[in-house]
Structure 1
């Protein structure tokens, strides 16, 4: 049952037919794990906390740097602090309804399955390939929905993965590119609005999954070019030979395979 204060706080959201009072209660009982509290994670965390998702887990081993602040606005005033801890402070100040668990460390094969298993939905807000593959593989193994996004300059991609209902990340990208083949945001740059748009869309997909409403991006890959405002959608299918999500898949998590995928783990 929603309290009087909660009814007032979420009143505009409750008026949305797809949410209502029952949906708001469902959100307050739900949980999301956000891996990466940087450019994508910052807007996603803000949207999820504002919406009243009852429990947020935030994983990040990095520290807040001044070069982050043009796009990672939730960290304002906390230079040098771990990003997971900084995000924890932000959420506590924004919405006391939300329980926050900060994990000030990298996601690794040793801790990934334990962390992922404790949440309803996972958001991949990371910026390197080994961690992206690790998150995908663990979510498939733990049967957890995953919302993935990636950005560069003024472009971004977004997809939603629900194990057993469609593709996984490896179905689209079977193997990571060679080391140095893809520039990072540090090398090529990124505009803050790009991460804001894509991170907010990740939160939107997560909220739809938690509410069980709307059409998610399961089976679809969305590409956005904010310079031209072109939005392209590609239909993607489950790969019957995928080593992770196929019926014959016999996959397990081993540290060596991620360390060899082209760059260091976070």
Structure 2
């Protein structure tokens, strides 16, 4: 049950008919694992602000934007909340933990190393938000809900799978569509595209958590910047896919 402080904090979300108090409680119970780079940075902020209760963070880098935000929050007394997010690692100077904790004290941040069992890590979460890589392949093999985003020059892509035995995985996409461009576009438009797409990814992730929208099939979204030419289409499962099809032997 929501506390009075939580009702006040999330009042603008609770009045939404597609969310309500029950939906907000679902978000507070939710566990979302975020893995990856620049496209996941904006997503992290929106997931925390929306009230996702536990955010797992798995990344080799600590985005510089969090250091800047932490410093800005230090200057804005009305944004400072002394109750910080907790972490499984004792990192009092971690700008990511500090920023997300000040943004929303209900959010618990759990840092994970890059080693260890991917399958075991995935099983501890309701949803995985990630860049392309082995972790996304494991999601496909296990039938785990996943949002996977990547960039190709001026294009941004997002693959969304709600999970289940008959849903296509990321590996079912055509090879030419899965190519990534390191660094994407190092331009003003490229940076804005990453911010925009990170927010869009957060929207789709929240829909997955609360069960809003169609449950199947998997979909891939694409947007070309700066023209903002947007498209989306369903992705059919490839029965011969080496990850989720007969050849892959999807678990469950």
The verdict on a shared fold, with TM-score over 0.5 as the criterion, is yes
Specify the alignment match of 2:140 in structure 1: 140
Specify the alignment match of 2:17 in structure 1: 17
Distance 1:78 1:2 in 2: 28
Q: Tell me, yes or no, if the aligned pair for 1:121 and 1:146 is still in contact at 8 Å.
A: yes
Aligned residue runs from structure 1 range 23-172, under 5 A: 23-36=23-36, 38-64=37-63, 69=64, 73-76=65-68, 85-103=94-112, 105-106=113-114, 108=115, 110-124=116-130, 126=131, 132-161=132-161, 162-172=163-173
Q: Tell me, yes or no, if the aligned pair for 1:35 and 1:59 is still in contact at 8 Å.
A: yes
Q: Tell me, yes or no, if the aligned pair for 2:54 and 2:108 is still in contact at 8 Å.
A: yes
1:3 aligns with 2:9: no
Specify the alignment match of 1:226 in structure 2: 225
Please give the secondary structure, in 1, of the residue aligned with 2:157.
strand
Specify the alignment match of 1:258 in structure 2: none
Q: Tell me, yes or no, if the aligned pair for 1:170 and 1:244 is still in contact at 8 Å.
A: yes
Residues 1:21 and 1:78: Cα distance change in structure 2 (over 3 Å): closer
RMSD between aligned residues: 2.8
Distance 2:27 2:166 in 1: 22
Deviates more, 1:89-98 or 1:139-148: 139-148
Residues 1:215 and 1:85: Cα distance change in structure 2 (over 3 Å): farther
Residues 1:75 and 1:153: Cα distance change in structure 2 (over 3 Å): farther
Distance 2:17 2:151 in 1: 32
- Give the TM-score normalised by structure 1: 0.76
- Give the TM-score normalised by structure 2: 0.80
1:189 aligns with 2:186: yes
Residues 1:237 and 1:138: Cα distance change in structure 2 (over 3 Å): same
> How many pairs are equivalent?
228
Please give the secondary structure, in 2, of the residue aligned with 1:40.
helix
Please give the secondary structure, in 1, of the residue aligned with 2:105.
coil
Q: Tell me, yes or no, if the aligned pair for 1:14 and 1:20 is still in contact at 8 Å.
A: yes
What is the deviation of 1:19? Answer: 0.5
Specify the alignment match of 1:207 in structure 2: 206
What is the deviation of 1:176? Answer: 9.9
Residues 1:250 and 1:95: Cα distance change in structure 2 (over 3 Å): same
Q: Tell me, yes or no, if the aligned pair for 1:152 and 1:185 is still in contact at 8 Å.
A: no
What is the deviation of 1:133? Answer: 3.5
Distance 1:12 1:156 in 2: 30
